[in-house]
């Protein structure tokens, strides 16, 4: 499943002992396993081979250029959500023909750029957006290609913040609106409506919601006699963070492929977390240990919510592994960061071996939505990103410096209105 494992009580990433990396590179840092990441991509490819999908890695989960490039080299396309991601996608040599672009708020400028570059599909999330794409394409004297993102109103049984395909959410359009759009396709003469897109949420651990969504989409196509060239099923395949019974790529494919095999359209998938989640960890150092008067033990580490936001934002569980195991009694700890907020924690009430200041901890499952959601809050430089390939450790993004913290800021000479 992933290549982070203990040998003789010490944690390794592939063939490298994490404690040796921690001696060389200051903490905190993200550490990714190349084999795990590429392995996950290939698992999806293999499981879905009967429909030979275009697998567009969802860059928002991790947009480090090297990660994207590694996947593009394996044959991945990219799923983007901003002009910034388009810029990065092209930078790593992803062909525009393998780029799909979702987001409810694409700006006119972003749309223009994406048309000029010739991306495969806009995933269109509203009628006004479609009008904007049509208008910009007309002005450029080009034809834009698009899929309509439908909101199938299916519950994915995941955290509310990462539920997208229920009717009270801002994403996509309902089936009625999609029908109107296809009926009036000639109104959008500079947009070629080539497909449908459906993304119902993230960290979905069973196939059922996907099946429900696909059935609704297929029904819709049949009822309205709509022919499409592309069906984009979005991302959302969940992973094991704790004790979830996550489905394997084979499990998902086993339920999904029979529904879409032998159909006259091509398939796109947009996985992010499934590829990256368990492909990375956040390594941090314990600075202090203290016990409150209420008897609560705190392990204060040098990584905080600015480095890994998921626990604070979604109450997400991430396993915390010591990088060296010792024989000792265990205690319950709140593992907290240095940020000035009570919500700044990596784990609460976690049973861990007796923690010693100076030791290193590995926060597991941090490869997706880890660095990509990191910030400079509390004027903290963002951590380094390191990539392990077998025995090699490569710096794919150095830790930010003090200078990075003030980049672009200018001190006014004087504070006068004129």
**Binding flags for ligand LLP, 218-247, as an x/- string (CB under 6 A):** ----------------xxxx----------
Q: In the range 60-79, which residues lie near ligand LLP by CB under 6 A?
A: 60-61, 79
Q: Does 199 bind ligand LLP (CB under 6 A)?
A: yes
Q: In the range 294-353, which residues lie near ligand LLP by CB under 6 A?
A: 310, 314
Q: Give the residue with the Cβ less far from ligand LLP, 322 or 367.
A: 367
- For residue 394, give both structure tokens: 């490569």
Q: Are 183 and 148 in contact (CB under 8 A)?
A: no
CB of 279 to ligand LLP, least distance (A): 12
* Region label for 60, one of left (φ > 0), alpha (ψ between -120 and 50) or beta (otherwise): alpha
- Residue 274 buriedness (CB in 10 A; 0-12 / 13-18 / 19+): buried
CA dihedral defined by 138, 140, 141, 144, rounded to 10 degrees? -70
> Could you tell me whether strands 320-322 and 280-291 are parallel, antiparallel, or unpaired per DSSP bridges?
unpaired
Q: Report the catalytic residues.
A: 340
CB of 234 to ligand LLP, least distance (A): 5
Q: Tell me the window of 67-75, 174-182, 265-273, 392-400 that interacts with ligand LLP (CB under 6 A).
A: 265-273
Q: Give the residue with the Cβ less far from ligand LLP, 257 or 373.
A: 373
CB of 239 to ligand LLP, least distance (A): 9
**Beta pairing partners, 397:** 385
Q: Give the residue with the Cβ less far from ligand LLP, 33 or 61.
A: 61
If residue 192 lies in a helix (H) or strand (E), which one and from where to where? Answer: strand 191-197
What phi and psi values does residue 249 have, to the nearest 5 degrees? -60, -40
CB of 310 to ligand LLP, least distance (A): 5
Q: In the range 152-191, which residues lie near ligand LLP by CB under 6 A?
A: 162
Q: Give the residue with the Cβ less far from ligand LLP, 188 or 274.
A: 274
CA pair distance 239, 1, nearest whole angstrom = 10
Could you give the maximum distance between any two Cα atoms of the chain, in Å? 72
CB of 88 to ligand LLP, least distance (A): 16
CA pair distance 173, 150, nearest whole angstrom = 5
Quick check: bond before 235 cis, omega within 30?
no
Instruction: Provide Rg for the chain, Cα atoms.
Output: 23
Q: Choose which of 271, 311, 365, 383 interacts with ligand LLP (CB under 6 A).
A: 271
Q: Give the residue with the Cβ less far from ligand LLP, 235 or 322.
A: 235
Q: In the range 15-54, which residues lie near ligand LLP by CB under 6 A?
A: none
Q: Give the residue with the Cβ less far from ligand LLP, 12 or 122.
A: 122
CA distances from 191 to 78, 133, 138, 146, 268 (A): 21, 7, 9, 7, 20
Q: In the range 84-113, which residues lie near ligand LLP by CB under 6 A?
A: 102
CB of 170 to ligand LLP, least distance (A): 11
* Residues of this chain that bind ligand LLP (CB under 6 A): 58, 60-61, 79, 102, 162, 199, 202-203, 234-237, 270-274, 310, 314, 368-369
């Amino acid at each position: 499943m992933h290549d982070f494992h203990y040998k003789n009580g010490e944690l390794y990433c592939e063939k490298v002992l994490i404690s040796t990396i921690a001696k060389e590179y200051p903490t905190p840092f993200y550490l990714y396993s190349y084999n795990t990441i590429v392995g996950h991509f290939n698992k999806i490819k293999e499981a879905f081979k009967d429909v030979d999908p275009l697998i567009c890695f969802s860059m928002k989960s991790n947009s480090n250029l090297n990660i994207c490039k590694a996947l593009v080299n394996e044959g991945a396309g990219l799923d983007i959500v901003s002009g910034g991601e388009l810029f990065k996608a092209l930078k790593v040599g992803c062909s525009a023909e393998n780029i799909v672009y979702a987001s409810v708020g694409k700006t006119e400028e972003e749309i223009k750029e994406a048309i000029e570059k010739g991306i495969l599909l806009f995933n269109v999330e509203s009628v006004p957006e479609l009008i904007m794409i049509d208008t910009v394409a007309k002005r450029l004297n080009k034809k834009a290609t698009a899929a309509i993102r439908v909101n199938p109103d299916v519950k994915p049984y995941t955290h509310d913040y990462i539920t997208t395909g229920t009717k009270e959410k801002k994403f996509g359009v309902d089936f009625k609106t999609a029908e109107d759009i296809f009926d009036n396709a000639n109104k959008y003469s500079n947009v070629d409506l080539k497909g449908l897109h459906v993304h119902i949420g993230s960290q979905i651990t069973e196939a059922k919601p996907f099946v429900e969504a696909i059935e609704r989409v297929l029904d819709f196509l049949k009822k309205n006699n709509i022919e499409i060239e592309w069906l984009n099923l979005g991302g959302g395949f969940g992973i094991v963070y704790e004790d979830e019974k996550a489905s394997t790529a084979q499990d998902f494919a086993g339920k999904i492929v029979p529904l879409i095999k032998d159909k006259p359209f091509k398939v796109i998938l947009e996985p992010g977390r499934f590829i990256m989640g368990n492909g990375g960890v956040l390594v941090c150092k314990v600075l202090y240990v203290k016990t409150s008067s209420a008897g609560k033990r705190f392990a204060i580490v040098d990584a905080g919510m600015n480095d890994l936001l998921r626990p604070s934002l979604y109450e997400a569980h991430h396993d915390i592994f010591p990088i060296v195991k010792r024989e000792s009694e265990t205690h319950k700890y709140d593992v907290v960061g240095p940020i000035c907020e009570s919500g700044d924690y990596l784990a609460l009430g976690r049973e861990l071996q007796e923690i010693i200041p100076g030791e290193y901890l590995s926060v597991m499952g941090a490869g997706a939505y880890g660095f990509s959601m990191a910030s400079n809050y509390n004027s903290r430089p963002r951590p380094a990103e390191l990539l392990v390939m077998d025995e090699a450790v490569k710096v794919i993004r150095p830790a930010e410096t003090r200078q990075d913290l003030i980049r672009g800021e200018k001190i006014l000479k004087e504070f006068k209105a004129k």
